[in-house]
Structure 1
Amino acid sequence: MGPLLALASAACYGVVDFAGGLLSRRVHFAVVTFLGQIGGLLLALVAALALPAEAVRSTDVLWGALSGAGSGTAMHFLNRGLSRGAMSVVIPVSAVTGVALSVLCGVFFLGDRPSPLAWLGICVTVPALWLVSGGGIGARGGGGGGARTPAGQASLDGLTASLGVAVQYIGLAQADPVSGLWPVAAGRIAAVVLLLPTALRYVPEFRQPRKRLGQAAVIGAGAALGLILYLWAAQQQMLAVAVVLASLYPALPTVLGLALLREKVTPAQVTGLLSAGAAVILLNLG
């Protein structure tokens, strides 16, 4: 059940990534990021109340808050990089480095001991994520009217986002199941507080049609659902495997772009998709 939950989390994040990328072409990244966390907070609160916890422990709430700080940081720098037209640099750097940091932390500090097959799956996943995300293709024009971002700045956005991703996954995995979904709710509160100063700097950008503001909130709710599924997955298997499976989300925007937007998929992306499929099989067998 754990691998299925992790893959469901990846599916949620894949849809969110695809929808958020489209919305960021029309709405400022600070609006998408902040309202996304508001939407995520609302969904997390409803879910936490609907599924009562045995005991809400302060330690677990703090772990959740740390995870939320990581989420807020990751989304801020990821969306900022995307808004600057650096998709082919920011996404692969953040995805690959985030996975690597999480796995290394699980192995060296949390006692994870993946089997040989699982290790092979992890090793296959890293290049698969890079290829399927378009790594090395060269920065494409994005929401900034075709403006390009220097490679150094794009890489810095991606690396900072990856640190947030690692903190998000590692922190949430430390929460005890007895606290239910309150760690996720606490994380959304922490993310909202963290992102509030940036949102206040761009108040005029929030003057958008209510439809687009609502879309940003719904996208954030989808991200929160992905975190809930990841939390349940991490409670049933080792962190390294849960993180790797949940991090396969970049494959879905590639498939959706092909199916819905008639985008062309490069041979490298096809190789990445096939490698990602092989990694899923290896991780499940391991």
Structure 2
Amino acid sequence: MTAVILATACAIVYGTADFFGGLATRRSRVLAVVALSQVAGLALILVLLPLLPGRLGGEDVLWGLAAGVSGAAGLVLFYRALATGVMSVVAPTTAVTSAALPVVFGLATGERPSFWALVGVVLALGSVLLVSQSPGGGEGASPGSVLAALAAGAGFGGFFVLLALAQKEAGLWPLVGARLSSISVVLLLALATRRALRPSAGGLRVIVAAGTLDMAANVLYLLAKQHGLLSLVAVLVSLYPASTLVLARQVLGERLRAVQLAGVACALGAVALIAVA
């Protein structure tokens, strides 16, 4: 039950971070938002290190570094897919792939959730597909954009898998490695494309909020994984788009489509099934 609570809280915080990130990208360039939010997250994890101490081990930091590269690559590929494809195809393809990869990895490495937990996993994957749907049809989706979306989902899913490979005793050190490598990737990308990383006026607070919430969610994920199976924790975490939708409805007044409301309902059902399993 502890893992379910932590993973569900992680999904809520991830979704809130994405909401703030979406607000930030309306005011500042995407690369500036990504880079500065990553720095804000690094600052938070350095503050939390003394509060949640762990053993500094080279192997665990390496897993974190690899996770950071995987996550950063997923982000770049996701934006590339959005630029060349149709959002109503790219978003759900990326979301379901990122959710399915840790489940497959967990089952392949010997995890055996109960029957009802597996039913909850299937329901959760379906809910991610539904809540990620955006207005408009999938006409015109190119094979290249679909492949980029699949690769982006693999990058995001790889982030969760690689972090899970770090030892429990490492504490938050893998997240330090992950953030250092992701910041390096983004900075190199900014240099290669000659993009400025200066936020627009008044945008820094929102960017910092997005970055700190994202790192807080990462911490909750690590804690959840320490108490539960990767195949269950990761799929619960992947429900984060539902909280983003709810915030968009409550704060911005955006209307939810019937398919998205069905997805939110499926997400709640999935959490309940996994919790009681």
Distance 1:20 1:84 in 2: 21
Distance 2:208 2:152 in 1: 20
Shift of 1:82: 5.2
Alignment of 1:34 with 2:35, yes or no, is yes
The residue that corresponds to 1:226 in the other structure is 217
Distance 1:199 1:231 in 2: 29
Alignment of 1:67-216 (within 5 A): 67-81=67-81, 86-108=86-108, 110-134=109-133, 137-138=136-137, 150-209=141-200, 211-216=202-207
CA contact (8 A) 2:32 2:198 kept: no
- 2:168 corresponds to which letter in structure 1? P
Shift of 1:210: 5.3
CA contact (8 A) 1:125 1:275 kept: yes
- 1:120 corresponds to which letter in structure 2? V
Shift of 1:245: 0.7
Alignment of 1:242 with 2:242, yes or no, is no
The residue that corresponds to 2:22 in the other structure is 21
- 1:15 corresponds to which letter in structure 2? T
Alignment of 1:277 with 2:268, yes or no, is yes
String of CA shifts for 1:91-114, please: whole Å, max 9, x gaps: 211110111111001111x21111
- 2:114 corresponds to which letter in structure 1? S
CA contact (8 A) 1:41 1:185 kept: yes
Alignment of 1:266 with 2:257, yes or no, is yes
RMSD: 2.2
Distance 1:214 1:260 in 2: 17
SS at match of 2:37: helix
SS at match of 1:205: coil
Distance 2:140 2:48 in 1: 39
Distance 2:82 2:19 in 1: 12
Paired residues, number: 276
SS at match of 1:50: coil
* TM-score normalised over the length of structure 1: 0.88
- 1:5 corresponds to which letter in structure 2? L
Distance 1:154 1:23 in 2: 25
Distance 2:83 2:251 in 1: 21
CA contact (8 A) 2:93 2:149 kept: yes
Distance 1:98 1:151 in 2: 20
Distance 2:194 2:208 in 1: 16
Q: Which moved more, 1:204-213 or 1:19-28?
A: 204-213
Shift of 1:151: 4.2
CA contact (8 A) 1:33 1:79 kept: no
Gaps of 5+ in 1: 140-147
Alignment of 1:64 with 2:55, yes or no, is no
* TM-score normalised over the length of structure 2: 0.91
**Identity over the aligned pairs, expressed in percent?**
34
SS at match of 1:112: coil
Q: Which moved more, 1:262-271 or 1:20-29?
A: 20-29
Shift of 1:159: 1.7
The residue that corresponds to 2:246 in the other structure is 255
The residue that corresponds to 1:48 in the other structure is 49
- 2:203 corresponds to which letter in structure 1? R
Shift of 1:182: 0.7
Q: Which moved more, 1:32-41 or 1:201-210?
A: 201-210
CA contact (8 A) 1:33 1:75 kept: no
Residue 40 and residue 159 in structure 1: after superposition, are their counterparts in 2 closer, same or farther (change >3 A)? Answer: same
Distance 2:219 2:82 in 1: 25
Gaps of 5+ in 2: none
Distance 1:79 1:49 in 2: 35
- 1:14 corresponds to which letter in structure 2? G
Residue 74 and residue 204 in structure 1: after superposition, are their counterparts in 2 closer, same or farther (change >3 A)? Answer: closer
Distance 1:126 1:77 in 2: 21
